[in-house]
Amino acid sequence: MNLRNIAIIAHVDHGKTTLVDQLLRQSGAFRENQRVAERVMDSNDIEKERGITILAKATSVVWKDTRINIVDTPGHADFGGEVERILSMVDGAIVLVDAAEGPMPQTKFVVGKALKIGLKPIVAINKVDKPDARASEVINEVFDLFAALDATDEQLDFPILYGSGKNGWMADDPAGPQEGMGPLFDLVLRHVSPPPVEDGALRMLGTLIEANPYLGRIITGRIFSGAVKTNQAVKVLDRQGNLVESGRVSKILAFRGIERQPIEEADAGDIVAIAGLAKFNVADTLVAPEVTEPLQAQPIDPPTLSMTFLVNDSPLAGTEGDKVTSRVIRDRLMKEAEGNVALRVEDSPGSDSFVVSGRGELQLAILIENMRREGFELGISRPRVVFQKDENGTRLEPVEEVVIDVDEEFSGVVVQKMSERKADMVEMRPSGGNRLRLVFHAPTRGLIGYQGELLTDTRGTAIMNRLFHSYAPYKGDIQGRRNGVLISNDAGEAVAYAMWNLEDRGPMMIEPGWKVYGGMIIGQHTRENDLEVNVLKGKKLTNVRAAGKDDAVKLTPPIRMTLEKSLAYIEDDELVEVTPKSIRLRKVFLDPNDRKRAVRAKD
């Protein structure tokens, strides 16, 4: 059968997964009476909850006797490592752009990678039915973006389609006709070339990894040459050509719609999943026994942010989770690093802790969220940026390109706050509807914890997108959190009466009845210093009746500290304690005397 391999790439929320839904539905991949979830490719629990794609996934459809393998990719910059890997599997890319927002930072990042390896893009302007759509201007912006990314003349001569993924149509004209996805399928067949097949024996590059309880490790990748059969003897080579293992292929799974079906043989050019090899990893090459040369994998951008994962040593440790030892935590982190090439895990010297480096706060927060759902208890340090040094010994730090869409009335406070965080403004232009698009180059250090502050400053109307730009010389100290915290001075259960009396000291982060311990952070102080308080003190009861009635205890609702909010909030001397049921904030040193010693040692 004829083959085409394409990826769908776009910024977060521009409609990739919804478009794949329609492609599957209109190609006959589903039965007439089959119940199908919305955004069927987002199969992970967290993906469904948050409405974002985290893992790249493959599917396939048949159109006019041609099988089209489609790879749905994440749109968030933190998961860029997923996108960089899968581009080696495909021969073309559908660049999906929102008709109102235009090309955004992540579009720029992924398109740059795709153009660099020579993929021929198809531009699809999505959501043209939105009231603020500006399709013709967006086309010009896309062309300017491609030109700025050094696209070849052939790549600049890209075909354009307009449509609405949600309503299930694409056409050569924004006005229609609205007759389904046929024009997009036909364009893929015309514009994307069939996969090139190299001569020689079997060579397949591993791209995506997953663990299956029945089949063990499953690696998805593209066969570049030869063919693979069930029970065939093969070997695995790493990037340098060293032998990783020899074995046999126990199962070959081909993508058929959203299902994977076992097949006996797969030919060059196809994207399949292979089971039966325990050490076959991402970026390794599966080859026939006589082959000695591996395929070259695409280089992955380095991590820019790191956190320390510690064994939970709080007084409440082990009461809510069952995976608490350093050995179990280390095994889980090493397993994650195997499948996620954008993640790096190192043992921290002399303690039960591990330094985990990744692309951003969201990527690491998703890992922590997955671990707590699996029953792990952890202590997590404040995110730190990964510094580098150039050949002259100058200290370099990661700088990000930040695009903020904001109402004009709030632009002043955004510019002021960003300049305090050592950001340089590079562009300011109107983006329609009394909104401005502000573009900054800002050190990653300054952006940690800014998202919540930005939403507060702009009353929830601003949209911030970030993308790694480059490493630049260190920009000096950046002021952190301005408020101190309220710290519990004893262990027990919080009492409403005590919390009510402490309300003028600052907002609380706990509720009555919650378990607290000495050194745990229970609220935010209104001043700059930390304050130890007693939230366990109940009301003294006597047998003397007062003439007036007691004041009713009415508490202000507490600040809800989510995982991402907590990681952004804490300072260097604080930790987030993560368990399957709770997220607590605490000081690194629970004893007040140890805290004073640490401050003196620092000074």
Q: Which residues are annotated as a binding site?
A: 13-18, 126-129
β-strand partners of 220 = 208, 273
Which pair of tokens denotes residue 478? 């950046």
Rounded CA separation 145/467 (Å): 15
- In order, the DSSP letters of 503-531 are GGG--BSS-TT-EE-TTEEEEE-SSSS-E
Contact 367, 376 (CB under 8 A): no
Return the residue matching tokens 């914890």: 449
Side by side, the strands of the sheet bearing 216-225 are: 243-248, 233-237, 285-287, 203-212, 216-225, 271-275, 251-256, 259-263
Conformation bin of residue 126: beta by default, left when phi > 0, alpha when psi is -120 to 50: beta
Amino acid at 87: L
Phi, psi of 319 (to 5 degrees): -85, -20
β-strand partners of 323 = 376
Phi, psi of 240 (to 5 degrees): -85, -5
Indicate the pairing of strand 515-516 with strand 583-587. Answer: unpaired
User: 229-232 long-range contacts, Cβ below 8 Å, gap at least 24?
Assistant: 229/264, 229/265, 230/262, 230/264, 230/265, 232/202, 232/288
Amino acid at 430: P
Helix (H) or strand (E) holding 485: strand 485-488
Largest Cα separation within the chain, whole Å, is 98
Known binding positions for GTP: 13-18, 126-129
Rounded CA separation 55/350 (Å): 34
